[in-house]
Structure 1
Amino acid sequence: MARIGIIGSEGRMGQAIADVLGSSEEHSHAGGVDAHDQGGGDVAALADRSDALVDFSAPAALEGNLHAAIGAGIPILIGTTGLEAAHFTAIDNAARAVPVLQTGNTSLGVTLLAHLVQEAAARLGPDWDIEIVEMHHRMKVDAPSGTAKLLGEAAATGRGIDLADHTDSGRDGNTGARPTGAIGFAALRGGTVAGDHSVILAGEQERITLSHLAENRSIFARGAVRGAAWLVEREPGRYSMNDVLGIG
C-alpha cells in the first residue's frame, strides 16, 4: 500500500485524488497541502510521511515541491500545467535524485491516444494536415491545454520534427494559406467541460479523427494515483505515463 501525499489538495484535481484515495483498498491518503501553506516546511512534512507525492498546484511552487521530494527521497508525479523551460530544467535535475513523472494529462485513455497519434503521424506523413482541438471549463487559465500540447508533441515526434518550429495557433484575420507541415491548435472554453480533445488528420478527400472525451475528473485522479504508486521503488529518472502503461 502506497501512502500518497497531495500538493494542491484544495484544487479540483487535489479533491478528486483525495476522493479516489478515500475509497481505495490499495493505497492511502497521506494528507495534503495547498497554496496558503506551501512555504516549504509543510510540503517537506508531507513528503516525510508519504511514499510518493502528486503535485497539481502551480508552476511557481514546483521548485520547492521538487526539493521536498528530494529531501525525503521519494518520487513525485507532476500534473501541473503551464510549465516553462526553466521548470523542465528543474524537473530534469530532480530526476537525477528521485523518480519523477511529469505529464500534461494523467488519463490512461489520453496516454493511449497520444501513442496512436504518434503512430498515425509517423505513418501518414506530412501530406496530412494535423489540427488539435480542445475544450475545457470556463475557469481554465492556460491555453492550449497541457493535454493538447502533449498530443502535439506526440504528432511532432511521429514526424521527427520540433513542435515549437511547426506550431500554428491563434489564427485570426487574413492569415494566408495553412503552412505545410504545421500542427494546428484551437482552444475552446465554456461551461463545466472536464476536458475534450480531438486530433484531426486531414488528407486529400479523407480525414481521420482521434478523440478522447473526459466525462468526469475522476479519470485523471485514478490515473494520477496509479502513476504515483507505480513510481514507488523505481530508480531515479524521468518517467511518463507511457511507462506506467508499458508503451514503448
Structure 2
Amino acid sequence: MIQTVVIGAAGRMGRRLVANIMESPTLALSGATEYAGSPFLGQDAGLVAGCGEAKVKITADLDKALEGADAVINFATSGVIETTRAAVAKGCAVVIGTTALKPEEKAELAELAKNGARIVSAYNMSVGVNLLFKLVKEAATILGPAYDVEITEMHHNQKKDAPSGTAVRLAEVVCEAWNWDYDKDVRHGREGLVGARTKHEIGMHSLRGGDVVGDHSVIFAINGERVELTHKASSRDTFAKGALRAVEFLVKAQPGLYDMQDVLGLK
C-alpha cells in the first residue's frame, strides 16, 4: 500500500481525498494535516470526513505526519512550496492540485524536480477536464483563429480566485495552438460601450454561485455555426480520484515535474 498524507484534511476537498484513499485498494492514509489552531486538530481524519474511523489523527505537525509516508496530496491554497520542500526532503512523491500558484512557485517546483523530486502539479485533476484540454487543442488547431473563442467558468460562491486555474489553462491551450499571448490576448469580461468584438481576443468570464463544483465551457463561434466543448463536475470525487491516479503514477515514475496529461497518457 502507498502510504499517503493529505494536506488540509478537514477542508471540503481534503475530506473527499481522505474518503477516497480509505476506499482505495492501493493507497492507505498515513497522515493528515491542518493549520495550527484548526478546530479539527486531534480528531480522527476518517470521522471528520464522515467515512468511519481511519485511526489517523489530524495534526499541525507536518514532520510528524510525513513519518513513513510515500506520497503527499496537497490542494491547500497556501504554503504549497514549503510543504513540498518538506515532503521531498523525506523522499515523498507530491501531488499538487492547487490552482493559483505564482510563476516563481512553479519555477521552484521545476527546480525541485531537476534535483530528484517526483511531482505532479495540475490545474485540474479531473480525468474529464484533462480530456477537455486535449479536445480544445484539437478544435483550436482544426478551426483556427477565424473562429471567435469565449470561455466561461462557474464555481461555488466561496471560491477565492478568478478565473479558475482550469479556465486559465483552457485559454493557454488555445493561445499555444494559435501562437497567441495569454497576457495580451485574453479579455476578462466586458462592461459598458466597449465596441465590437475584435478578431484577436479570447473572452474570459467567471460566474460564482451556490455550491457549483466546477463548470467549464469553451465556445468556438463563426458566422453560421458554433462549436461548444463543456465539462461539468458534480462531485469533488472526480478531482480526488484523479489525484489518487497521480499518486499511483508517481510511485513508478522517474524524477520530474509532471501534469495530468502525463498521468493519463494524453501527450
Cα distance in 2 between the residues matched to 1:235 and 1:172: 48
Aligned to 1:95, the other structure's residue is in SS state: helix
User: Out of 128, 138, 153, which is 1:134 matched to?
Assistant: 153
* Cα deviations by residue, 1:78-113 (Å, 9 ceiling, x for unpaired): 111222212111211121120111111100000000
Cα distance in 2 between the residues matched to 1:36 and 1:180: 50
* Cα deviations by residue, 1:98-146 (Å, 9 ceiling, x for unpaired): 0111111100000000000011111111111111111111111111011
Cα distance in 2 between the residues matched to 1:210 and 1:2: 36
Cα distance in 2 between the residues matched to 1:177 and 1:237: 45
Aligned pairs for 1:1-248 within 5 A? 1-36=1-36, 42-59=61-78, 61-96=79-114, 97-248=116-267
* Cα deviations by residue, 1:202-247 (Å, 9 ceiling, x for unpaired): 1121100000111111111111111122111311111010111111
Cα distance in 1 between the residues matched to 2:200 and 2:251: 40
Aligned to 1:141, the other structure's residue is in SS state: coil
Cα distance in 2 between the residues matched to 1:5 and 1:179: 48
Q: TM-score, normalised by structure 1?
A: 0.93
Give the Å deviation of 1:57: 0.9
Q: TM-score, normalised by structure 2?
A: 0.87
Percent of matched pairs sharing the same residue = 39
Give the Å deviation of 1:37: 7.2
Cα distance in 2 between the residues matched to 1:193 and 1:35: 25
Cα distance in 2 between the residues matched to 1:176 and 1:43: 53
Which protein shows a greater Rg? 2
RMSD: 1.8
Q: Is the 8 A contact 1:118 1:156 kept in 2?
A: no
Instruction: Give the number of the structure with larger relative contact order, counting CA–CA contacts within 8 Å between residues 6 or more apart.
Output: 1
